[in-house]
């Protein structure tokens, strides 16, 4: 299995549709955002999506979304010599 993972933690924060989050008696207005970009072979997509769902699920609103799309090609920014 070949794969590529890119973890991005956004410096910005958002409120989400739930308008913050309540943890005990403390209400946090802003929620830190994190993004993962993962490229896997097509045969591994369901297993990877299920793994992310299990690991990321808190049962609370705002657990996130998983977008699945086909990757047609990849091009480097720097030209090869």
- Give the CA dihedral 43, 49, 50, 52, nearest 10 degrees: 140
Distance of alpha carbon 41 from alpha carbon 38, whole angstroms = 10
pLDDT at 50: 95
pLDDT digits (tens, 9 = 90+) for 31-60: 667 778 888 889 999 999 999 999 988 887
Of 76 and 34, more confident? 76
Q: Which pLDDT belongs to residue 23?
A: 76
- pLDDT of 1 reads 61
pLDDT score at 69 = 92
| Res 35: pLDDT | 79
- Tell me the CATH number of domain 1-81, given options 3.30.70.260, 3.90.1150.10, 3.30.70.120, 3.40.718.10: 3.30.70.120
Q: What is the pTM of this model?
A: 0.63
């Amino acid at each position: 299995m070949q794969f590529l993972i890119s973890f991005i933690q956004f410096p910005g924060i958002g409120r989400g549709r739930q308008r913050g989050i309540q943890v005990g008696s403390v209400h946090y207005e802003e929620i830190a955002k994190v993004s993962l970009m993962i490229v896997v072979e097509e045969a591994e997509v369901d297993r990877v999506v299920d793994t992310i769902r299990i690991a990321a699920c808190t049962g609370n609103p705002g657990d996130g979304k998983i977008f699945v799309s086909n990757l047609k090609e990849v091009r480097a920014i720097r030209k090869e010599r």
